[in-house]
Amino acid sequence: SWELLVICVLFLLLYCSTSIVKSFFSSKEEAEAYLTSPWLTRFAPSVLIFVFALSLPLNIMAILLFVFRLKLKKPTTVYMLNLAAADILLASVFPFKISYHFLGNNWVFGSNMCRFVVTIFFSNMYCSVLLMTAISVDRFLAVVYPMQALAWRTVRCAAMVCGAVWMFALAGVTPLFITEQTQKISWLKITTCYDTLDVSMIMKTFRYYFSALSVFFFFLPLLITLTCYVCIIRKLSSSDIDAKPGKRKRAILLSVTVLCSFIVCFAPANILMLAQNISSSPNKPLEILYFAYILALCVGTINCCIDPLIYYYASSVSQREVWNLLMYRSFICSMRDEFQLGCGKKKSNPLCAGYNASLNYFFF
């Protein structure tokens, strides 16, 4: 069944993501080998460059689509607009991280800028996780309880949820902003940003903080998201939904894709973070799991590119709107409407025809 397939895939991804947990630094020489490794000084920044170049136009186009074409008429549109904004803000700090890795993990922008970049990076990453969870709950209500959820699935409620998500994400990473994040590595003559912190401080406070961060900002949202999509798949597989078999299969495939994306992008870094803090002790070096963790963070940023493809541009209606936006026809028509120049009122204008269809963000 689809439910069994989904569960098997998820457990396989979780198992694979924990297979790299055995890496740790046992000496200065090994730490130097990792910190100067081409994987961190070449591969990691190359991934960030690719994600930055691809995610920025995709998410900017999505925001233009939401604001000028689809408007904020549906709760899911509100969630996706905020998700696109979070992805753009996350990508905005990539140039600093790219420079940092290309310089051999040497931070040259100052302590305050390091704290700012770390805060923006993690707050928007976890904001994306929470917004994806909110979208899964919204889809669950729309598919499983369509009539009962009408009173709750409103634009106003969605806006309130998004506001709470932003505040919760910012509050969760506030300790990172108020704590020194730079650390000088004397024998390498570099200054790291976030990657290495004082061991005593980690053992006293941040060990529990990072563990709580993983639990409340990933594992709990993962459980909610998994539950929602399993229920959605069961509902779509039943005979209660009046839809063509092709549409059902497409909806189920999209659900599985979203779940796999969630796991692949966010599970490795959070599992490694939790494993590092559970296994760390004063007798073990702080750099345990560092190499795998940093690479996992870089791989996780690919989610900025995946989000537009599986959320915003999945439907044929959305694809037509994007094409029109690229051809400037839909965008110009909307701008004329905004300034009341009568473009939308001229029924004979072919450029304005056919642009009033709203996007179905759930599956069909």
**Contact (CB, 8 A) for 106 and 191:** yes
pLDDT score of 64: 84
CATH class of 2-326: mainly alpha
Reported as a pLDDT band with limits 50, 70 and 90, residue 319 is low
The mean pLDDT of 150-165, rounded to a whole number, is 91
Distance CA 105, CA 98 (A): 9
Judge whether residue 178 has pLDDT over 70.
Answer: yes
Q: Where in the sequence of the chain do the CATH 1.20.1070.10 domains occur?
A: 2-326
Reported as a pLDDT band with limits 50, 70 and 90, residue 182 is confident
The pLDDT tens digits for 66-108 are 887 766 778 888 998 999 999 999 999 999 999 999 998 899 9
**Tokens linked to 323:** 């094409």
Distance CA 113, CA 111 (A): 6
Answer with the residue of higher pLDDT: 218 or 273.
218
**Contact (CB, 8 A) for 341 and 335:** no
Write the CB contacts of 191 (distance below 8 Å, at least 6 apart in sequence). Answer: 106, 107, 108, 182, 183, 184, 185
DSSP characters over 92-145: HTHHHHHHHHHTTS---S-HHHHHHHHHHHHHHHHHHHHHHHHHHHHHHHHHHS
Judge whether residue 307 has pLDDT over 60.
Answer: yes
Q: What is the pTM of this model?
A: 0.79
Percent of the chain with pLDDT over 90: 33
pLDDT score of 144: 86
**Contact (CB, 8 A) for 262 and 225:** yes
Distance CA 102, CA 154 (A): 46
Judge whether residue 52 has pLDDT over 60.
Answer: yes
β-sheet bridge partners, residue 185: 190
**Tokens linked to 81:** 């607009």
Reported as a pLDDT band with limits 50, 70 and 90, residue 38 is confident
Which spans in the chain are helix H? 2-17, 28-35, 38, 44-64, 75-92, 94-102, 111-144, 155-177, 199-201, 207-214, 220-237, 245-279, 290-300, 303-307, 316-326, 329-338
Is residue 66 helix, strand or coil? helix
β-sheet bridge partners, residue 351: none
Reported as a pLDDT band with limits 50, 70 and 90, residue 192 is confident
Amino acid at 291: F
The mean pLDDT of 133-157, rounded to a whole number, is 88
The mean pLDDT of 318-337, rounded to a whole number, is 56
**Tokens linked to 206:** 């941040």
93: nearest Cα among 122, 112, 120: 120
**Contact (CB, 8 A) for 66 and 80:** yes
